Structure 1
Amino acid sequence: MKGIIFTEFLELVEDKFGFSVVDEIIEQSELPSEGIYTAVGTYNYKEMVSLVMNLQKQTDIPAITLMEVFGEHLFSRLAKLYPVFLNGVEDPIKFLMSLEDYIHVEVKKLYPEAELPSFDTELQKPDQLKMTYHSVRCLYPVAEGLIKGCFKHFESEVQITKNMITESGNKVEFIINKL
């Protein structure tokens, strides 16, 4: 997992809960990186899971909620850091449909070692998209937050229905309705 995911997560935690909570969750987690991340580094995704689980213990907020909020935050940060990916796009559904064939292709050019989730998309109606998430990391709440963040960026309302295709969460179908 790319370091930017970790640095943005820790920034969000500091903004919402303070530096002492960041310090606590790093200390409580067994991290091979010792919690020292660079945006361009690559780290084991299990470190993120450990950080989220320890944040859950610190805040009593469910891990799924924490990951979803992080995904929403992450979209806004990535939109600011990489505005080129949003150039000429005026609709969140069109953006989401470009994820696999454009965005992820460009990310792989920049970071060939990046292990990205994959998304199958199928336009159901002009304002309805079926998007299927696939990842061994089972971080689908982050993906759901990213979808919500995308719609917020485009100042659009969204309704998302989630269907767990596998119990583990490595394959999840989102039915996304632009309202």
Structure 2
Amino acid sequence: MKGVVFTEFLGLVEEAFSADMVDDLIDATSPPSGGAYTAVGTYDHAEIVAMVVALSARSGIAVPDLLATFGRHLAGRFHELYPVFFERASDIFSFLSSIDDVIHAEVRKLYPDAALPQFEDRMLDDDVMELVYRSPRRMDDLAVGLIERCAEIFGEWVAVERSARPDGAVAFVVRRVAEPASA
């Protein structure tokens, strides 16, 4: 997994909790990398999973909720750091449709060793897309947060339903809605 995911996660933990919490997570999980991450490095995804589990134990926030929150944060940061990918899209569906063919293609040019998730999309109607997510890392909760925040960036709201597929992939049905669901 690319280091940018790790650096952004630890940045979010520091912002939402504290620098001490970051140190606690690294101490508690003893990652093989030593907890020193660079945005361009490549690290075992098990390190971030261990830190999310440790953060859940310390904060009382469920792992799926932490991952979705991180996904929302990551989408916001990607929008700040890489606005060109958002500017090329007219709405959430055209953006999601560009993930594999445009965004991940550019990432692979810069980082040929990047192990990226795969996405396949198809429109079911004008307001509904099926997005199939394939990744051995199974971070679909993070993907939900990314999708939801990306929709907000485009001034839209979506409802995201997911279901496991027999081949191990996850199918998201992303439905454009008039307003966000109440909490």
TM-score tier after normalising by the smaller chain length: over 0.9
* Structure 1 spans left out of the alignment, 5+ residues: none
Residues 1:128 and 2:98 are matched in the alignment: no
In 2, are the aligned partners of 1:30 and 1:50 still within 8 Å (CA)? no
Partner of 1:100: 100
- Note the alpha carbon deviations across 1:75-106, whole angstroms, 9 max, x for none: 11011111111223220111001111111111
Q: Residues 152-167 of structure 1 correspond to what in structure 2 (within 5 A)?
A: 152-165=152-165
Instruction: Specify the code of the residue in structure 2 equivalent to 1:175.
Output: V
Task: Give TM-score, length-normalised by structure 2.
Answer: 0.93
Matched, 1:46 2:46: yes
- Aligned residue for 1:98, secondary structure, equals helix
More moved, 154-163 vs 1-10: 154-163
**What CA distance in whole angstroms lies between the structure 2 residues aligned with 1:166 and 1:59?**
34
SS at 1:7's partner residue? Answer: helix
| Overall identity of the aligned pairs, in % | 40
Cα deviation for residue 54 of structure 1 reads 0.4
1:132 alignment partner, SS class: strand
Q: CA deviation at 1:30?
A: 2.4
How far 1:166 sits from its partner (Å)?
5.1
Q: For residue 138 of structure 1, what is the aligned residue in structure 2?
A: 138
Q: Map residues 1-179 of structure 1 onto 2, 5 A cutoff.
A: 1-165=1-165, 170-179=168-177
Q: CA RMSD in A?
A: 1.2
SS in 2 for 1:34: coil
